Amino acid sequence: MSREPRPSAPALGALVGIAFLLWAATFAWPVGSFWLKISLAAGFLAAVSLRLRPRPLARLFPGRGDLLAGAAGAALLYAVFWAGREVSLAVFDFAGGQIEGIYRRGDGTPAWVIAGLLLLVTGPAEEIFWRGTLQEALMERFGRLRGWAAAGALYAAVHAASGNFMLVGAAAVAGAFWGGWYAWGGRLPPVIVSHALWSSVVFTVLPLR
């Protein structure tokens, strides 16, 4: 685990509360590009996180090994989601409509803009906050396993504002995967690469709809 100064419990709790408010507003407010709004929300949380827990920015940039590991992780998670989609469509009558509803949030925004935001802003920013700040602090306070579980539950819960069961389930699976990777490896760069690549591919290049 990292050795940067810990954010205080009240500050961390406030930031989690802000995250829930930002996600709720992003899903509920119909004005503007959804992907731009979620990028701004994630970027804000990441910026505040870096103020609460300062760290050299160089430690967040991936090396060659991180790029390879992150790409492999993204491919593995894509396969998991492909299988999950097939099972969900077979089991839940509502799955197809809810999956399509996730992708409809991108209507009106060019695919290259969505991909760029996910690759360069949203993916990295979410990992800095949800894993590098929140999960790290929870693991330090409650232990590796419980900290991972608590952070993953919060990451899934924040997506409940969408009212989309499939999206909440997807967030739970992805959060458990990235959170488990970070809890096991203790390094953020490969997880950032995995999140950024996976999200940009699954929403623009090879959508699972």
Task: Report whether pLDDT(28) > 60.
Answer: yes
Q: What is the pLDDT at residue 205? A: 96
Q: What residue spans define the domains of the chain?
A: 9-205
Q: What's the confidence (pLDDT) of residue 1?
A: 46
Q: Residue 78 pLDDT > 60, yes or no?
A: yes
Which residues are CB-contacts of 9 (< 8 A; sequence separation ≥ 6)? 141
Contact 11, 89 (CB under 8 A): no
Instruction: Round the average pLDDT of the chain to a whole number and report it.
Output: 94
Q: What is the pLDDT of residue 4?
A: 61
Q: How confident is the model at residue 58 (pLDDT cuts 50, 70, 90)?
A: confident
- Please state the length of the chain: 209
Buried/exposed 149-177: b ≥16 CB within 10 Å, e otherwise: bbbbebbbbbbbbbebebbbbbbbbbbbb
- Among the ranges 10-14, 42-46, 60-64, which has the highest mean pLDDT value? 42-46
Q: Which comes out higher in pLDDT, residue 59 or 117?
A: 117
19 pLDDT higher than 80: yes
pLDDT for res 7: 82
What average pLDDT does range 20-40 have in this prediction? 94
